[in-house]
Amino acid sequence: MSHNLLQGKKGIIFGALNDQSIAWKVALKCHEQGAGIVLTNAPIALRMGEINKLAEAINAPVIGADVTNLSDINNLIEKSVEHFGGKIDFILHSVGMSMNMRKGNPYTDLNYDFTLKTMDISSISFHKVMQAAYQKDAMNDWGSIAALTYIAAQRVFPDYSEMADAKALLESIARSWGYHFGIKNKVRVNTISQSPTRTTAGGGVKGFDGFMDFAEKMSPLGNADADACADYVVTLFSDLTRYVTMQNLFHDGGYSSTGVTQTVIQQMEKQ
Protein backbone atom coordinates (compact mmCIF):
# COMPACT_ATOMS: atom_id res chain seq x y z
CA MET A 1 0.00 0.00 0.00
CA SER A 2 1.37 3.40 -0.98
CA HIS A 3 1.25 6.32 1.44
CA ASN A 4 3.65 8.41 -0.65
CA LEU A 5 6.13 8.40 2.22
CA LEU A 6 8.99 9.02 -0.19
CA GLN A 7 7.24 11.28 -2.68
CA GLY A 8 9.82 13.44 -4.44
CA LYS A 9 12.80 11.76 -2.77
CA LYS A 10 15.73 10.36 -4.74
CA GLY A 11 18.13 7.61 -3.79
CA ILE A 12 20.78 5.06 -4.71
CA ILE A 13 20.31 1.36 -3.95
CA PHE A 14 23.30 -0.98 -3.92
CA GLY A 15 23.09 -4.74 -4.22
CA ALA A 16 19.91 -5.75 -6.08
CA LEU A 17 20.96 -9.02 -7.73
CA ASN A 18 17.65 -10.82 -8.25
CA ASP A 19 14.14 -10.88 -6.82
CA GLN A 20 15.39 -12.70 -3.70
CA SER A 21 17.59 -9.74 -2.75
CA ILE A 22 16.49 -7.45 0.07
CA ALA A 23 17.83 -4.54 -2.01
CA TRP A 24 15.49 -5.59 -4.84
CA LYS A 25 12.51 -5.51 -2.47
CA VAL A 26 13.64 -2.13 -1.09
CA ALA A 27 13.82 -0.68 -4.60
CA LEU A 28 10.29 -1.83 -5.37
CA LYS A 29 8.93 -0.46 -2.07
CA CYS A 30 10.71 2.87 -2.46
CA HIS A 31 9.36 3.22 -5.98
CA GLU A 32 5.87 2.35 -4.73
CA GLN A 33 6.17 5.13 -2.13
CA GLY A 34 7.06 7.71 -4.78
CA ALA A 35 10.86 7.73 -4.83
CA GLY A 36 13.18 8.01 -7.81
CA ILE A 37 15.92 5.36 -7.83
CA VAL A 38 19.36 4.74 -9.26
CA LEU A 39 20.37 1.07 -9.12
CA THR A 40 23.96 -0.07 -8.85
CA ASN A 41 25.96 -3.24 -8.43
CA ALA A 42 29.38 -4.63 -9.26
CA PRO A 43 30.07 -5.32 -12.94
CA ILE A 44 30.11 -9.11 -12.38
CA ALA A 45 26.78 -8.91 -10.53
CA LEU A 46 25.31 -6.90 -13.39
CA ARG A 47 26.27 -9.71 -15.76
CA MET A 48 25.09 -12.54 -13.50
CA GLY A 49 21.96 -10.96 -12.06
CA GLU A 50 18.61 -9.73 -13.32
CA ILE A 51 18.90 -6.06 -12.41
CA ASN A 52 17.77 -4.81 -15.81
CA LYS A 53 14.37 -6.40 -15.22
CA LEU A 54 14.05 -4.43 -11.99
CA ALA A 55 15.30 -1.26 -13.66
CA GLU A 56 12.59 -1.54 -16.29
CA ALA A 57 9.89 -2.16 -13.67
CA ILE A 58 10.74 0.97 -11.67
CA ASN A 59 12.07 3.12 -14.53
CA ALA A 60 15.52 3.42 -12.97
CA PRO A 61 18.94 3.74 -14.59
CA VAL A 62 21.64 1.20 -13.76
CA ILE A 63 25.09 2.59 -13.07
CA GLY A 64 27.69 -0.11 -12.44
CA ALA A 65 30.21 0.41 -9.64
CA ASP A 66 32.82 -1.77 -7.98
CA VAL A 67 32.41 -0.72 -4.34
CA THR A 68 36.12 -1.25 -3.69
CA ASN A 69 37.04 1.26 -6.42
CA LEU A 70 36.90 4.93 -5.44
CA SER A 71 36.81 6.08 -9.07
CA ASP A 72 33.72 3.93 -9.68
CA ILE A 73 32.04 5.24 -6.54
CA ASN A 74 32.81 8.86 -7.36
CA ASN A 75 31.45 8.32 -10.86
CA LEU A 76 28.29 6.74 -9.43
CA ILE A 77 27.65 9.69 -7.11
CA GLU A 78 28.30 12.23 -9.85
CA LYS A 79 26.14 10.45 -12.42
CA SER A 80 23.31 9.99 -9.91
CA VAL A 81 23.25 13.68 -9.03
CA GLU A 82 23.31 14.46 -12.75
CA HIS A 83 20.45 12.03 -13.41
CA PHE A 84 18.29 13.45 -10.64
CA GLY A 85 19.18 17.04 -11.41
CA GLY A 86 20.00 17.59 -7.75
CA LYS A 87 21.16 16.03 -4.51
CA ILE A 88 20.32 12.60 -3.13
CA ASP A 89 17.97 11.86 -0.22
CA PHE A 90 18.87 8.27 0.64
CA ILE A 91 21.35 5.45 0.07
CA LEU A 92 21.02 1.73 0.82
CA HIS A 93 24.22 -0.30 1.20
CA SER A 94 23.31 -3.97 0.76
CA VAL A 95 26.67 -5.44 -0.14
CA GLY A 96 28.62 -8.33 1.35
CA MET A 97 30.89 -11.14 0.24
CA SER A 98 33.29 -13.56 1.95
CA MET A 99 35.76 -15.51 -0.16
CA ASN A 100 36.72 -17.56 2.91
CA MET A 101 33.16 -18.80 3.29
CA ARG A 102 32.93 -19.46 -0.43
CA LYS A 103 36.11 -21.53 -0.25
CA GLY A 104 35.03 -23.32 2.93
CA ASN A 105 37.81 -21.86 5.10
CA PRO A 106 36.88 -21.97 8.81
CA TYR A 107 37.43 -18.95 11.08
CA THR A 108 40.39 -20.77 12.65
CA ASP A 109 42.18 -21.09 9.30
CA LEU A 110 41.49 -17.92 7.31
CA ASN A 111 43.21 -16.86 4.13
CA TYR A 112 44.07 -13.29 5.14
CA ASP A 113 44.17 -11.99 1.59
CA PHE A 114 40.56 -13.16 1.33
CA THR A 115 39.79 -11.57 4.70
CA LEU A 116 41.07 -8.18 3.58
CA LYS A 117 38.90 -8.48 0.47
CA THR A 118 35.90 -9.34 2.66
CA MET A 119 36.46 -6.22 4.76
CA ASP A 120 36.91 -4.02 1.70
CA ILE A 121 33.73 -5.24 -0.01
CA SER A 122 31.49 -5.74 3.01
CA SER A 123 32.33 -2.81 5.27
CA ILE A 124 35.06 -0.42 4.12
CA SER A 125 33.00 0.09 0.96
CA PHE A 126 30.33 1.68 3.17
CA HIS A 127 32.92 4.21 4.35
CA LYS A 128 33.99 4.86 0.75
CA VAL A 129 30.43 5.50 -0.40
CA MET A 130 29.73 7.94 2.41
CA GLN A 131 33.07 9.67 2.03
CA ALA A 132 32.36 10.26 -1.67
CA ALA A 133 28.87 11.56 -0.95
CA TYR A 134 30.20 13.77 1.88
CA GLN A 135 33.08 15.26 -0.08
CA LYS A 136 30.90 15.92 -3.12
CA ASP A 137 28.15 17.42 -0.93
CA ALA A 138 25.75 15.06 -2.69
CA MET A 139 23.25 14.47 0.14
CA ASN A 140 20.24 16.66 0.83
CA ASP A 141 19.75 17.97 4.37
CA TRP A 142 17.88 15.44 6.54
CA GLY A 143 18.80 12.61 4.19
CA SER A 144 19.13 8.98 5.32
CA ILE A 145 21.76 6.30 4.75
CA ALA A 146 21.31 2.67 5.81
CA ALA A 147 23.24 -0.58 5.58
CA LEU A 148 22.20 -4.17 6.22
CA THR A 149 23.93 -6.13 8.97
CA TYR A 150 23.41 -9.24 11.10
CA ILE A 151 23.49 -10.09 14.82
CA ALA A 152 26.70 -12.09 14.27
CA ALA A 153 28.39 -8.71 14.77
CA GLN A 154 27.49 -9.08 18.48
CA ARG A 155 27.16 -12.84 19.01
CA VAL A 156 29.12 -15.86 17.85
CA PHE A 157 27.80 -17.80 14.86
CA PRO A 158 30.75 -20.13 14.09
CA ASP A 159 30.03 -20.67 10.41
CA TYR A 160 29.55 -16.95 9.71
CA SER A 161 33.34 -16.75 9.77
CA GLU A 162 35.01 -13.36 9.21
CA MET A 163 31.75 -11.84 7.95
CA ALA A 164 30.94 -11.34 11.64
CA ASP A 165 34.02 -9.13 11.96
CA ALA A 166 33.08 -7.30 8.78
CA LYS A 167 29.57 -6.60 10.09
CA ALA A 168 30.99 -5.30 13.39
CA LEU A 169 33.19 -2.90 11.42
CA LEU A 170 30.23 -1.90 9.24
CA GLU A 171 28.23 -0.95 12.34
CA SER A 172 31.14 1.07 13.75
CA ILE A 173 31.52 2.94 10.45
CA ALA A 174 27.81 3.80 10.55
CA ARG A 175 28.15 5.33 14.01
CA SER A 176 31.20 7.39 13.10
CA TRP A 177 29.73 8.66 9.85
CA GLY A 178 26.42 9.31 11.59
CA TYR A 179 28.25 11.86 13.72
CA HIS A 180 30.08 13.58 10.86
CA PHE A 181 27.13 13.55 8.44
CA GLY A 182 24.79 14.71 11.19
CA ILE A 183 26.99 17.70 11.99
CA LYS A 184 27.38 18.58 8.31
CA ASN A 185 23.79 18.50 7.11
CA LYS A 186 21.57 16.45 9.41
CA VAL A 187 21.99 13.23 7.42
CA ARG A 188 21.33 10.16 9.56
CA VAL A 189 23.18 6.87 9.27
CA ASN A 190 21.93 3.54 10.65
CA THR A 191 22.40 -0.19 10.25
CA ILE A 192 19.55 -2.69 10.16
CA SER A 193 20.21 -6.04 11.81
CA GLN A 194 17.87 -8.29 9.87
CA SER A 195 16.59 -11.79 10.60
CA PRO A 196 18.33 -14.54 8.62
CA THR A 197 16.81 -14.12 5.19
CA ARG A 198 16.87 -16.54 2.28
CA THR A 199 18.78 -14.57 -0.33
CA THR A 200 21.49 -15.63 -2.80
CA ALA A 201 24.16 -14.40 -0.37
CA GLY A 202 22.48 -15.68 2.79
CA GLY A 203 21.89 -19.12 1.36
CA GLY A 204 25.64 -19.52 0.88
CA VAL A 205 26.32 -19.59 4.63
CA LYS A 206 27.05 -23.09 5.95
CA GLY A 207 24.17 -24.32 8.11
CA PHE A 208 21.85 -21.57 6.90
CA ASP A 209 18.71 -23.69 7.19
CA GLY A 210 19.60 -24.31 10.83
CA PHE A 211 20.03 -20.55 11.34
CA MET A 212 16.59 -19.94 9.89
CA ASP A 213 14.86 -22.64 11.91
CA PHE A 214 16.49 -21.71 15.22
CA ALA A 215 15.80 -17.97 14.73
CA GLU A 216 12.17 -18.73 13.91
CA LYS A 217 11.79 -20.68 17.14
CA MET A 218 13.60 -18.00 19.17
CA SER A 219 11.66 -15.01 17.81
CA PRO A 220 8.29 -14.21 19.44
CA LEU A 221 7.07 -12.73 16.16
CA GLY A 222 8.94 -15.15 13.92
CA ASN A 223 11.60 -14.23 11.37
CA ALA A 224 11.15 -10.98 9.47
CA ASP A 225 11.15 -11.64 5.74
CA ALA A 226 12.68 -9.52 2.96
CA ASP A 227 9.42 -7.70 2.21
CA ALA A 228 9.02 -6.67 5.84
CA CYS A 229 12.63 -5.50 5.91
CA ALA A 230 11.98 -3.37 2.83
CA ASP A 231 9.00 -1.76 4.56
CA TYR A 232 11.22 -0.94 7.53
CA VAL A 233 13.88 0.58 5.28
CA VAL A 234 11.20 2.82 3.75
CA THR A 235 10.39 4.23 7.19
CA LEU A 236 14.08 5.00 7.74
CA PHE A 237 14.25 6.83 4.43
CA SER A 238 11.07 8.77 5.20
CA ASP A 239 10.74 11.99 7.19
CA LEU A 240 9.08 10.05 10.02
CA THR A 241 12.47 8.98 11.44
CA ARG A 242 14.41 12.24 11.21
CA TYR A 243 16.02 11.91 14.63
CA VAL A 244 17.02 8.25 14.44
CA THR A 245 20.74 8.04 13.74
CA MET A 246 23.94 6.17 14.68
CA GLN A 247 21.83 3.16 15.68
CA ASN A 248 22.01 -0.55 15.01
CA LEU A 249 18.31 -1.34 14.63
CA PHE A 250 17.21 -4.94 15.14
CA HIS A 251 14.53 -6.05 12.69
CA ASP A 252 14.32 -9.65 13.79
CA GLY A 253 10.96 -10.46 15.37
CA GLY A 254 12.40 -10.07 18.87
CA TYR A 255 15.21 -12.60 18.46
CA SER A 256 17.90 -10.21 19.74
CA SER A 257 16.10 -9.68 23.07
CA THR A 258 15.01 -13.27 23.74
CA GLY A 259 16.99 -15.55 26.05
CA VAL A 260 14.98 -18.69 25.35
CA THR A 261 11.47 -19.60 24.26
CA GLN A 262 9.11 -22.32 25.40
CA THR A 263 9.31 -23.86 21.93
CA VAL A 264 13.09 -24.27 22.20
CA ILE A 265 12.81 -25.66 25.75
CA GLN A 266 10.24 -28.23 24.66
CA GLN A 267 12.38 -29.23 21.69
CA MET A 268 15.43 -29.73 23.93
CA GLU A 269 13.42 -31.78 26.45
CA LYS A 270 12.33 -34.16 23.70
CA GLN A 271 15.90 -35.01 22.80
Query: What whole-number distance in Å separates Cα of residue 256 and Cα of residue 263?
Result: 16
Q: Can you give the pTM of this predicted structure?
A: 0.95
- Block means of pLDDT (10 residues each) for the chain, length 271 residues? 92 95 97 98 86 96 97 98 98 95 94 98 98 98 98 93 96 98 98 88 67 91 97 98 98 95 85 66
Give me the pLDDT at residue 135, please.
Answer: 98
- Does residue 22 have a known ligand-binding role? yes
Asked whether residue 129 is marked as a ligand-binding residue, the answer is: no
Domain definitions of the chain by residue range: 10-270
What pLDDT was estimated at residue 205?
64
Are 93 and 126 contacting, i.e. CB atoms less than 8 angstroms apart? yes
Check the annotation: does 21 bind a ligand: yes
Task: Determine the Cα–Cα distance for residues 146 and 176; give it in Å rounded to an integer.
Answer: 13
| Residue 252 confidence (pLDDT) | 97
Known catalytic residues?
A: 150, 160
> Which of 172, 135, 129 lies closest to 154, judged by CA?
172
Report which residue type is found at 196: P
Q: What pLDDT, on the 0 to 100 scale, is given for residue 211?
A: 77
Instruction: Sheet containing 248-251: give its strands across.
Output: 36-40, 10-14, 88-93, 139-149, 188-194, 248-251
Burial 216-230 (b: 16+ CB within 10 A, else e): bbbbeeebbebebbb
Residue 10 CA, distance from chain mean position: 17
Domain 10-270 part of CATH 3.40.50.1820:
no
Do the annotations mark residue 167 as ligand-binding?
A: yes
Per-residue model confidence (pLDDT) at position 49: 75
Question: What is the spatial distance between Cα 256 and Cα 236, in angstroms, rounded to a whole number?
Answer: 20
